[in-house]
A and B are shown apart, each in its own frame.
Chain A
Amino acid sequence: GAGVSQSPSNKVTEKGKDVELRCDPISGHTALYWYRQRLGQGLEFLIYFQGNSAPDKSGLPSDRFSAERTGESVSTLTIQRTQQEDSAVYLCASSLLPPQETQYFGPGTRLLVL
């Protein structure tokens, strides 16, 4: 079946602009995660959605970052007033109900803030 998809694949923006990144999880996956990967680094957890429960936002680095998810479908990650340090690859993952289930990743969105 179809895997996790993300759009856009690449995004170049100017400092101070807002950007919106999209994630389409695998159908039926109740859990959805956003991670950030800076150049040459491992992944950092940003936010987690599980069904209709309140999201875990503990990894969001500042109040410029926010994310939404409607039910068990698409999620969007929004970064307001982008800064150069926001440049990174943003990866989305989904899974069936934790904790046993493996997370499956999308190809990521590479964000470059000029």
Chain B
Amino acid sequence: AQTVTQSQPEMSVQEAETVTLSCTYDTSESDYYLFWYKQPPSRQMILVIRQEAYKQQNATENRFSVNFQKAAKSFSLKISDSQLGDAAMYFCAYRTPRIQGAQKLVFGQGTRLTINP
């Protein structure tokens, strides 16, 4: 079974600076999808960024980018120019690309990010 590990329960960063959140995963599959979701106090899970394992290029979305190291099974999230609105729980998630059956997401335990003004 796939597992996702986030080793940093909490992180903090000064506003406007850069922070990196770590995520590692374990799988025997060669093709899969990886995601970072943000969960503010409103509880709504918001997709931040996604990466297809077959793509070598790291995904980027504005101030958010990932460092995908497939051999190391590592998928870190970098937030540049941190803003107060980035404060939230961040979850790393894995999903199999199987056609049949549940495309369930397997989540890490989360990292609580605090932005200091």
Which A positions have Cβ atoms within 8 angstroms of B? 31, 33, 35, 40-45, 48, 50, 56, 58-59, 89, 91, 93, 95, 98-100, 102-108, 110
Residues of B within 8 A of A105 (CB): 37, 44-46
Chain B residues with CB under 8 Å of A93's CB are: 45, 105
Please give, as numbers and ranges, the residues of chain B lying within 8 Å of A44 by CB-CB distance.
107
A104 contacts which chain B residues (CB < 8 A)? 47
Could you list which residues of chain B lie within 8 angstroms of chain A, going by C-beta atoms? 4, 33, 35, 37, 42-47, 50, 91, 93, 95-99, 101-110
What A residues does B97 contact at CB under 8 A? 99-100
Q: Once the chains bind, are A56 and B45 in contact (CB under 8 Å)? A: no
Q: A93-B45, A107-B44 are in contact. Are A45 and B96 (CB under 8 A)?
A: no
B103 in contact with A99 (CB, 8 Å): yes
Q: Is the CB of B44 within 8 A of A56?
A: no
Contact between A42 and B45 (Cβ–Cβ < 8 Å)? Answer: no
CB-based nearest A residue for B104? A45
Shortest CB distance B5–A (Å):
10
